[in-house]
A and B are shown apart, each in its own frame.
Chain A
Amino acid sequence: MSMVQSLNPGLILILAGLACLCLPYQRVRQALTLIAPLCAIGLLATTPHDTDLATLNLMGLDLVFYRVDNLGGIFGFAFLIAAFLNAIYALHQDSWIEDSSALIYAGAAVAACFVGDFVSLFLFWELTALSSVFLILKSGTQEAYGAAMRYLGIQVLSGVLLLYGAAQLYVMGGADISLRALELGADPGTYALLVAFGIKAAFPLLHNWLQDSYPKATIVGAVVLSAFTTKLAVYVLARVFPGENVLIWIGAIMTIFPVFFAVVENDLRKVLAYSLNNQVGFMVCAIGVGTQLAINGAAAHAFAHIMYKGLLFMSMGAVLLRTGTTKASELGGLYKSMPWTALFCIIGAVSISAFPLFSGFIAKSLTMSAVMKGHYLIIWLMLLFASAGVLEHSGIKIPYFAFFGHDSGRRVKEAPFNMLLAMGLASALCIFIGLPTIAGFGHGYLYSLLPYPDIATAYEPYTFEHILTQMQLLVLAAFAFVLLQRFGAYPAEKRGLILDTDWVYRKPLYNLSVWSGAVWNKAVPALTGAIGQYLTGLGQKSAELFKPQGAISRGPITDGMAVWAAALLGIVLLVSFYTSG
C-alpha cells in the first residue's frame, strides 16, 4: 500500500485550505479550491474499503485516521462534490477568508467520514465548527457577529459533549474508543453522544442555531454551510445509533414543526434553513427505523439533499447578490431578469418536493417504504404530512415568491456565469440521479453507492403505484395552493421576525445575564467598600501598634526583649540543626 493511499482525502482539502490562507493571488487560490476536491475524489475512488489505512497509538488511545466503508464513502463523496460545486459558485469573488474557510470546513467534514474512533472524530467535529464560523463572521454586520458567536458557542458545546461521551466510553468500555454502533443507555456517555450529535443535526429544540446563523452567513457562506454540518451529524448517527427507536420519533417531529415556521417566515434563506431541518428529519427517522432499506434511505436522502439544498441556497444567493435581499415581501417577478436562476431554482424545488424523475423521489421512496415495512402508521402519516409541507415551503414558496408572484419591479442582471454554471451542474445531478435507470444512467448509479447496494438495487422506486400516489399527493397539494391563492386565503408575505426557541437565550437568559451583571457591578464596589474600610482600619491599628514608635516599642523593656528574641532564635536553630542531623 502506497503512502498516498493512507492519506485521508479530507486532509488534502484542509492542507489546500491552509495554503489559501497565505495565497494572495485570487486565481491561484481558486484553482486550488477546484483541484483539491477533484484530487480527493480521485484518491477516494482508488482506496480499498473496510481496512484501517492509517492508525496511530497515542498515549494508549487507538486512533484510526483513515478507513473507508460504504456508509462513510457515500457521505464523503457527496461532501467532495459539494465542495467542488461550491468552489465554482465562489469564483466571481476575491475572498481569501471564504475560500480558505470553506475548504478547511469541507475537509474536516470529509475527514470525519473516514475516521474510525471517537477521538479523531472529535478533532474534526470541532474543526468543522471553528473553520465554518468565518463564513458567518465575514458578513460583517452586527447581527452576523452575534449569530456567529452563538453558533460557535453551541457547536463547541456539541464537541465538548462528544469528548465527554468518548471519555465515558473509554473508562466504561475498557479503553475501546472505536467508532461503532452503541446502544443508548448502555452507558451514561451514550446520552452525551446523542445530545452532541443532536445539536449538530439540529434536533427539535436544539435546532435554532441553524436558522439563526445560516441566513446571516455570506452569499457563498450559506451555500457552503448548508452541505456539511447537519449531514455529518446524520452520518455519525447512522454509524453510532442505527435502529435506535427514539430517533424515529425525533425525526418525525423534526419533519413537521419546521413546516409551520417556514410558512410564516419572510426571509427566503431562513425558509431554506427550516426546510433543511425538515429534510434532516426524514434522515433521522430512517436511521431510527434502522433496517438496511432505511439506512439506504437515509444515505440516499443525504446525498440527494446535499445537491438540491445547495442548489436552492445557490439560487437565493444569486438573488441576494443582485438585489441585496431575500425577503419574500421585497421580491417577485425576478424571472424577467434572472430566468436561468429561476429555472435552476425550480429544478431544485421539484427535486426537494420529490417529483418523479427528480432526485428527491428516488431517495425519499426508500425511507417511506422502510417506514411502511416497519408498520409505523403514525410515523408514516407524519412523514406524509411533512412531504406536503416540503412542497409548500420549498417547492412553491421559494420559487414563487422570489421569481413570480407579485412583480416587485426590480430589474437586475442575471447571476454571474460561474454561479449559473454551479447551479446548472447541481441541477444536472438532481436530474441524473433521479431518472429511471437506463443503460447505467439514472438512480441506479446512486443506489450502487449506498451502504447496502444489494438491497438498494433490488428496490424499484418507479412502480406505477409509487408514481400514482406521489403525483396524487403533490398535484392535489399544488391545487390547494392555487385554490387558496384564488380565494385570498394564502397569508401575505409580511416583514418581521419570527420568534423561535432562540428567544429563550436571546431574551430572558440574555436579560438575566445583563441584569446579574449590573447587580454584580453595583454589589462588588459596595461590598469591597464595607470590608475594605474594616480592613484598612485594622491595618492602621496594627501599624500603630507595631511601628518603631508604636505602643509595643515604648518603655525600658525593649532592649531586653531584643536580646531574648535573639537568644530564642539561636536555641531554635541549634535544636533544629541537631534533630535534622
Chain B
Amino acid sequence: MSSDRPDHSIHNGDGDQPMHPAAHILFGWVASPLTKPIVFWGLGALAVLLILVDLIYVRHTKFDIEGIPGFYGIFGFLAFSFVVLMGWPLGYLLRRDENYYEDQPAETDPHSEEAQK
C-alpha cells in the first residue's frame, strides 16, 4: 500500500524550510532515542502505580462491578485494544477506492498554499 503513495519528499521535503526554532524547545525531546522507551516504560509504571493505589484506597461505588480494584484501568485497556484491533476487519470490510463515488476528490485542497504553488 505504501508504494502508491505520492512521494512528497521530492518537492516538499527539500529542506528549504528549516526546523522551526520553537520546535527545538517544545518538542526537541521527541527526536531523542530515549523518548520511546521512556514513554513506554513510564506509562507502564504509571499504570501499575494507579492500580496499586486502587488496591489500597477504598472507593465509594454505585455499581458492584466498579468496586473491582483497577476496574477503570482494565476496562480502559481492553476497550482501547478492542477498538484498535477492530480496525483490521473493519478496514477490509469498509475501505474502498478514494474515487468510489466518482466525484473526483481533490488530491490537494484547492485553497491550500500547496495547491497555489
A residues whose Cβ falls under 8 Å from a Cβ of B: 139-143, 146, 218-219, 259-261, 263-264, 320-325, 329-330, 335-340, 342-343, 372-373, 375, 377, 380-381, 384-385, 387-389, 391-392, 404, 408-414, 464-465, 468-484, 486, 489-492, 494-500, 506-507
Residues in B with CB closer than 8 Å to A412 are 12, 17, 113
- Least CB distance from B77 to A in Å reads 4
Proximity bits, B1-24, A CB within 8 Å = 1, else 0:
100111011001111111110110
CB distance B63 to A219 under 8 Å?
A: no
From B70, B95, B99, B111, A264 is in contact (CB under 8 Å) with B95
CB distance B20 to A339 under 8 Å?
A: yes
CB distance B76 to A141 under 8 Å?
A: no
- The residue of chain B having its C-beta at the shortest distance from the C-beta of A474 within the complex is B76
From B25, B47, B90, B109, A476 is in contact (CB under 8 Å) with B47
B residues whose Cβ falls under 8 Å from a Cβ of A: 1, 4-6, 8-9, 12-20, 22-23, 25-27, 30, 39-40, 43-44, 46-47, 50-51, 53-54, 57, 59-60, 62-63, 65, 70, 72-77, 79-81, 83-88, 90-91, 94-101, 103-115
- Least CB distance from B117 to A in Å reads 9
From A337, A464, A506, B23 is in contact (CB under 8 Å) with A337
Residues in B with CB closer than 8 Å to A373 are 62
CB distance B72 to A339 under 8 Å?
A: no
CB distance A468 to B27 under 8 Å?
A: no
Residues in B with CB closer than 8 Å to A478 are 43, 80
Residues in B with CB closer than 8 Å to A140 are 110-111
CB distance B20 to A336 under 8 Å?
A: yes
Most B CB contacts (10 A, CB to CB) among A139, A470, A496 go to: A496
The 9 A-B residue pairs with the shortest CB-CB distance, nearest first, are: A324-B114, A409-B13, A324-B108, A472-B73, A388-B79, A473-B76, A477-B80, A324-B112, A339-B23
CA distance A367 to B106 in the complex (A): 40
Interface pairs (21), CB distance under 8 Å: A140-B110, A143-B103, A321-B112, A321-B113, A322-B113, A336-B23, A372-B62, A389-B79, A389-B83, A392-B80, A412-B17, A464-B57, A471-B50, A473-B73, A476-B77, A479-B43, A481-B84, A497-B98, A497-B99, A497-B100, A498-B96
- The residue of chain A having its C-beta at the shortest distance from the C-beta of B9 within the complex is A409
CB distance B27 to A475 under 8 Å?
A: no
CA distance A261 to B91 in the complex (A): 9
User: Given the known A-B contacts A320-B112, A324-B113, are A468 and B75 also in contact in the complex, defined by CB atoms under 8 Å?
Assistant: no
CB distance A470 to B72 under 8 Å?
A: yes
CB distance A476 to B76 under 8 Å?
A: yes
- Least CB distance from A495 to B in Å reads 6
CB distance B43 to A475 under 8 Å?
A: yes
